[in-house]
Amino acid sequence: MSEFKRRSFLKAGVAAAVAGASMSYGSFAIGGAKKKVVVVGGGTAGATAAKYIRMADSSVDVTIIEANKEYYTCYMSNEVIGGVRSLDSIKFGYTGLKQHGVNIVHDMVTGIDAGKKVVKTAGGQSFSYDRCIVAPGIDFKWDTIEGYDAKVAENTPHAWKAGAQTATLRKQLEAMPDGGTFIIAPPPNPFRCPPGPGERISQVAHYFKNHKPKSKILAFDPKGKFSKFGLFKGGWDRHYGFDSSKMAGGFIDYTLKDGVVAYDAASKTVTTQSGNKIKGDVVNIIPAQKAGNIAATAGLTNDKSWSPVHGNTFESTMHKNIHVIGDSCIGKPLPKSGYAANSEAKVCAAAVVALLNGKDAPHPAYVNTCYSIIAPGDGISVAMVYDYDPKAGKIIKVKGSGGLTPGKFDAALREREQQYAYSWYNNITADIFK
C-alpha cells in the first residue's frame, strides 16, 4: 500500500473510531443512583476521561482533582520556545468541563486508599469513589544526572512540563548572545513525546537562523536514534546547513550514544558519558522520566516506575477499580503522546461507564498521530491505528494502517502537514476542554 493510501486509510480509521465511540456511549446513558468517579489530574488524559464519562452517562458524579488552575499543553510548546507562538496560545482552563457537569477541585492529591476507595488531598479533603482514574502525567528520575535536580531545573529548565519553564527557556534563548551555544540533552527511552527533542532543536535552529546566525546547537543523546530520525535529519539538511552523514554542520551538532551524566550549574557545563565537558550559554536538560509521583505513592507502579494496566480498560493490574491513563501507564505499543493520551482516555471512559452500569467493557480501538514542525511550511507526521487482542491480552498495531510523511521533500505536501498539525491542535484541545 502506498504511503498516500495508508495515510488516507488512517484518516478514515480515525473518523470511524471516533464516530463509533460516540455512538456506543448512547447505550449507557441511563439514570439511577449516583455513581462516583474521581479523576486525579486535569491534563490531556484526565480532562478527556472526565468529559467523556459525563457525555456518556450524566448520572455519574465526576470530580477532577488538579493542583493547577490552568493547563499548558506540551504539544505545540516547542513553538513557544522557538518564538512562533505565545505561551497563552497553549493555555486552557476548566470552564468548559464545568459546563459538562464535571466538578473541578484545585488541590494536590497526596494519597489513594484503594481498600477504602478514598482519594485524599493536601488540603485535608477526602473524596470517595466507585472508580478512580489516575492521570498524573510524568515526573523525573532526578538521580540519573549528577548535579541536576528539581531546584537546579528552575534555572536550567527541562521544559518537559509546559508552562513556567517553557517561558524561562524562551527568555534565556532571547537573552543569549549571537554566537552562543545552546546545549540540549534528550532523555533515554521511554519518555513523553518521542519526537519532541527533534522538534525543539528544529524550532531553536529556525530562531537562530533568523535572529542569531552565529549560534550553535549541541545535542547529546544517550540513544542511537530518535523518532522520525530520517525526516528530522533531512529537514535539518534542507533548512539549517546540517550534514546528516556527519551528524553535524550549520546550526546543529548531534551526538548519539553519548548522553549527559553530570551538570555543573555554576559554570553551565555538562559532562557526557564519554567524559567530554562542554560549557553552554543556555542548557536544556531533559532527564529520564517515570510515572507521576502520585502513581508511585498509591502503589500503582512497577520496578520500572511505570504503571501496568489492562489494555482494554486501563484498569491497574495492581489495584482494582483504579485506572491509569496517559503518560504514566504502560500502553505499548501506544507512545507517550498527547493524542495517545486522548485516545486512551476515551477507551477508559467507555469502559468505566460500562462497568459502573454492570456491563462488559466494549471492545476498544485506539489512534495516535504525532506532528512536528521542522520549519515554516515543513511539517511531518507519524500515525497509527491500534486494536486490542483479547486472547493475547494486549494492544496491537493494525497492519497497514500506519502513515509516515514520505522522505522525499514535496513542498505542497509539507505545507499541508503543517496545516494539519495546527488543525489537529485546535480540534483536540476543543475536544478536551470545551
Reported as a single tens digit per residue, the pLDDT across 139-160 is: 999 999 999 999 999 999 999 9
End-to-end CA, the chain? 37
DSSP E strands, 328-429? 329-330, 365-375, 378-389, 394-397, 403-404
pLDDT band at 131 (very low <50, low <70, confident <90, very high): very high
Distance CA 121, CA 221 (A): 38
Residue-wise pLDDT tens digits, 391-401: 999 999 999 99
Considering the chain, tell me which residue range(s) the CATH 3.50.50.60 domain(s) occupy: 3-67+106-139+289-429, 143-285
* CATH architecture group of domain 3-67+106-139+289-429: 3-Layer(bba) Sandwich (3.50)
Amino acid at 241: G
> Which set of grid coordinates corresponds to residue 19?
464516530
Judge whether 166 and 203 are in contact, CB under 8 Å: no
Judge whether 315 and 360 are in contact, CB under 8 Å: no
- Which residues 6+ apart lie within 8 Å of 58 measured at CB? 29, 101
Pairwise pLDDT comparison (386 vs 19), residue with the higher score? 386
| pLDDT surpasses 50 at 5 | no
Residue located via cell numbers 502537514: 417
Percentage with pLDDT > 70 across the chain: 92
Q: Angle at Cα 305 formed by Cα 154 and Cα 48, nearest 5°? A: 75
Count of beta carbons in the 10 Å neighbourhood of residue 310: 15
> Which set of grid coordinates corresponds to residue 33?
443512583
Distance CA 11, CA 16 (A): 9
* DSSP state, residue 188: P
CATH topology classification for 143-285? FAD/NAD(P)-binding domain (3.50.50)
Distance CA 28, CA 49 (A): 15
Residue 28: what pLDDT?
A: 42
Residue 33: what pLDDT?
A: 58
- Which residues 6+ apart lie within 8 Å of 368 measured at CB? 334, 335, 337, 339, 340, 343, 383, 384, 386
Residue 18: what pLDDT?
A: 44
Closest CA to 49 of 316, 343, 345: 345
Residue located via cell numbers 508552562: 163
